Amino acid sequence: MKRTYLSIFCIAFMGISFLSAQEKIPQVEELLAKMTLEEKIGQLNLLTPGGGIATGSVVSEDVETKIKAGNVGGVFGVSSPEKVRQAQDIAVKSSRLGIPLLIGSDIIHGYKTTYPIPLGLSSSWDMELIKEGAQIAAKEATADGINWNFSPMVDIARDPRWGRIAEGAGEDPYLGSQVAKAMVQGYQGEDLTQPNTMMSTVKHMALYGAAEAGRDYNSVDMSRLKMFNEYFPPYKAAVDAGVGSVMTSFNDIDGIPASGNKWLLTDLLRERWGFDGFVVSDYTSVNEMIAHGLGDLQAVSALAINAGLDMDMVGEGFLTTLKKSVDEGKVSEETITIAARRILEAKHKLGLLDDPYRYSDESRPEKDILTEENRSFARKAATRSFVLLKKHENTLPLAKNANIALIGPLADNKNNMLGTWAPTGNPQLSIPILEGLKNVAPNAKITYSKGANISDDSTFAKKVNVFGERIMISEESSETLLDNAMEVADAADIIVAVVGEATEMSGEAASRTDITIPDSQKKLIRELSSTGKPVVLVLMSGRPLDISEEMNLPVSILQIWHPGVEAGNAVGDVLFGNYNPSGKLTNSWPRSVGQVPVHYRMKTTGRPGPESGEFQKFKTNYLDSPNSPLLAFGYGLSYTTFEYSDVKASSGELTANGSIQLTATVTNTGDFGGEEIVQLYTHDKVRSITPPGKELKAFKKIMLKKGESQAVTFEISAADLKFYNSDLKYVAEPGEFEFFIAGSSDADFKGSFTLKK
């Protein structure tokens, strides 16, 4: 799906909307009473003048003329107080009713101050950090005139071939729900009329992360049980947190594309979940229903508005066909009135109907955007997102006076620090790794060599470089690059190799069937690891990679995702020990792409694979690989070590209306102080539908000094054990439960309790 834009949830159901039962806003109703049918339809039209990144083939034309005619409800791709004021001037002073515009944007992981990609931020497991990041992004974006954000993306994703896995929070519905809630609260705050808050959009409704074959925009087919138990929770968490808008996805659900799916947008979103905001389509997704095979533009536009879609992004099908559909009795005027009401109510919530220029304060950008305070936060967020995947001997942390060979195509490369979907950031303001290491350890001797191209394949590079040069193929031969790197390595005591994916090797329209490190870099890694010197791989990517080969080499591995504007400083902080890495993976990493999908919630089946991992005929296992992932969900190392003991429950029985405490003692047994993310999982031993092997129920991040112990306690009630049964009723069934308290999903420190009737 394209850079997802606003979700506007709306729909007329039997001529009566969910919202119509609520108290109406006089200011909105007065406007509606004055509006012609054409002006109501105009409010449902979202356009872009092309000032930002277009993620489809369409860029709107004659935008100013359409605004003056009352044919535009919102725009995106416009920023700065001056430009936003100009746009609002046209709407307020030159249209008949003077209705201001929504001003939207994709602000995915920070605005000008760019943070790690969302998959990286989720690896912090720090909801306060994530919420603060959204607050800072809202403050910066609103300073630049923007009042509506197309974020968060909360799609559960378990297929690392899918490039947009970079934009979400991973594979787990519970963790994903916590992230969704934190981001909505961060963007919207307590009062949307405050000029430093903005309306949030949860996307993509729904199931977009389960695209078949990991190919972007592809079909999705899954059972209702899987939808409700595994994929819907983060969307619902955002709705429960008060998100103002919802964006539809590109895929179909039960054979009907999301933008025209009445069961999804009305029956589920509005009537079951009680959503009272507006629903917006993704980029031209209404028009794309033609290619899905559901009719011409008039037919699919009528399908969408009748299904509960309120706003059409860029496609203009609503603008050009809805009046005809009303005249022909295919759409009721009341349906259009309800959708227009939802758009106007959003503008009321933002305070735009009282002050259209609320977000046009020209004094704000200088004092609110890319400040030292904001960059300091970005640096902190990046350090918390890094995941130490492997420790070899005692290489890390590095001494601040070390003699270091810094090698790799991503080691001194500003263009690849921000990550995918950072259209509002400036890569040239980022701190590359070379600069950051020198900043943190000025007494270290650091010598740089590129060593290899990100990829030697010029055809592949051309596909990646759509938004600018991300893969630069050197005029020097790959042999010369490698020879130069080996000379630098020979003169050093320690080798730090920065390798992995370019920014646009993941993200939208960046699906890959091969999720290994490119061959050009693999060759470099092999040669460096054969020197006998300590080697640290600093791995940059927007997705889980297949690093089975690299995990078997004598190297340490630090996963840094794409870290954002403060990338180099944050990497320096962690490599030199200013911060002890504490991140944990929010996706399982496969041993090979042939395992995909592999995730920790997989069911055991009637012929479970052997616990030993050794192959057994007529069991659910592979001839050529263990069932388990290479790296489990929740996995992440530290410069210190942690041990778990004394796992216990306060009672062996949990009543339907009571709660019990589940406790484990965690001890820092290593040589450094460090943070540990303590995770609680449960397993329902007998259930009316087949249960997953484990389910994450809670987590806590604790700090322990060297030698320190702490008892970590989680309180759990029957409500925490609920699931959707085969009737889609949300229930907790009595029976025996195992629980696991550990540092990752594959650990096995467990106890048990029984839920009583």
**E-state strands within 72-197:** 74-76, 102-105, 148-149
**E-state strands within 3-113:** 45-47, 74-76, 102-105
Q: CB burial class (10 A; 0-12, 13-18, 19+) of residue 371?
A: middle
Rounded to a whole number of angstroms, the distance between the first and last alpha carbons of the chain is 45
Q: Find, among 643, 625, 638, the residue nearest to 672 by Cα.
A: 638
**Do 314 and 56 touch, CB atoms closer than 8 A?**
yes
**Segment holding 246, helix H or strand E:** strand 245-248
The SS3 call for residue 744 is coil
Amino acid at 513: T
Enumerate the β-bridge partners of residue 75: 47, 103
Active site residue 282: yes
- Residue whose entry in the numeric block shows the structure tokens 């061959």: 519
Residue 518 phi/psi, 5° resolution?
A: -55, 150
SS3 letters for 515-534?
Answer: CECCHHHHHHHHHHHCCCCC
Q: How far lies 656's CA from each of 609, 643, 753, in Å? A: 34, 33, 13
Q: Find, among 509, 495, 503, 539, the residue nearest to 521 by Cα.
A: 539
Amino acid at 624: D
Strands 723-724 and 730-731: what pairing?
A: antiparallel
- DSSP state for residue 631 in the 8-state scheme: B
Q: Find, among 273, 285, 271, the residue nearest to 208 by Cα.
A: 285
Between CA 339 and CA 333 the distance in angstroms is 10
Between CA 101 and CA 92 the distance in angstroms is 9
**Segment holding 682, helix H or strand E:** strand 674-684
| Catalytic residue chosen out of the listed positions 282, 310, 573, 684 | 282
- DSSP state for residue 269 in the 8-state scheme: I
Between CA 430 and CA 562 the distance in angstroms is 11
Hey, what are 486's tokens?
Answer: 């080996």
Between CA 129 and CA 126 the distance in angstroms is 5
Hey, what are 228's tokens?
Answer: 């409700």
**What's the Rg (C-alpha) of the chain?**
26
Between CA 119 and CA 625 the distance in angstroms is 27
Residues marked active site are found at 282
